Amino acid sequence: MSTPEEILRIITTDSNDLKKVYVEEPLSKMNSSEKQQEFSVSNVSWQNNAISAEIESNKDSILVLNSEFFPGWKAYVDDRRTPIFRANYLFQGIQLPSGKHLVEFRYRPDSLLIGSILSLIGIVAVFVLSYFLKKRHNQ
């Protein structure tokens, strides 16, 4: 089993640390300071479709989730949606402001919603069609 530090990595905003993570698109400016990076990761929960953790950092940071970047994942910091970017070619990353935050990654693909709606329409159509066929047959 992976430790929280292996699953979630905090990267500081110092220019030397940013070289440790490759991102495909430019990130918004993050406040950097001279103080030493201090952070903690606690209460990590890894379920089938969700990953959450409480993260506290004294600096703006980049959080890298060592899980494959794949469409359908959505990230939330304190229940506010935040964009996910591709980090280190394969993994997921988010910008994390300093302070204590509840970070959640949830897998909710749009294809699941579309498939559910189409299935529901199909079930309703079958019931409506069978009702009219039964009514026609009884006449």
Which residues pair with residue 26 across a beta bridge? none
Q: What is the mean pLDDT of the segment spanning 63-84?
A: 90
Domain spans, the chain? 4-108, 110-139
pTM of the model: 0.68
Residue type, 55: I
pLDDT tens digits for range 33-48: 566 777 788 888 888 8
pLDDT tens digits for range 95-108: 888 899 999 999 98
Q: Give the mean pLDDT of the chain.
A: 80
DSSP string, the chain: ---HHHHEEEEESSHHHHTTS-BSSPPPP----SSPP-EEEEEEEE-SSEEEEEEEESS-EEEEEEEE--TTEEEEETTEEE--EEETTTEEEEEE-SEEEEEEEEE--HHHHHHHHHHHHHHHHHHHHHHHHHHHHH-
pLDDT tens digits for range 81-134: 999 988 888 888 898 888 999 999 999 888 888 999 999 999 999 999 998 888
Query: Would you place residue 24 in the very low, low, confident or very high pLDDT band (cuts 50, 70, 90)?
Result: low
Query: Would you place residue 1 in the very low, low, confident or very high pLDDT band (cuts 50, 70, 90)?
Result: very low
**Is-contact 52 104, C-beta < 8 A?**
yes
Other Cβ atoms closer than 10 A to 99 = 13
More confident residue, 137 or 26: 137
Position 132 scores a pLDDT of 87
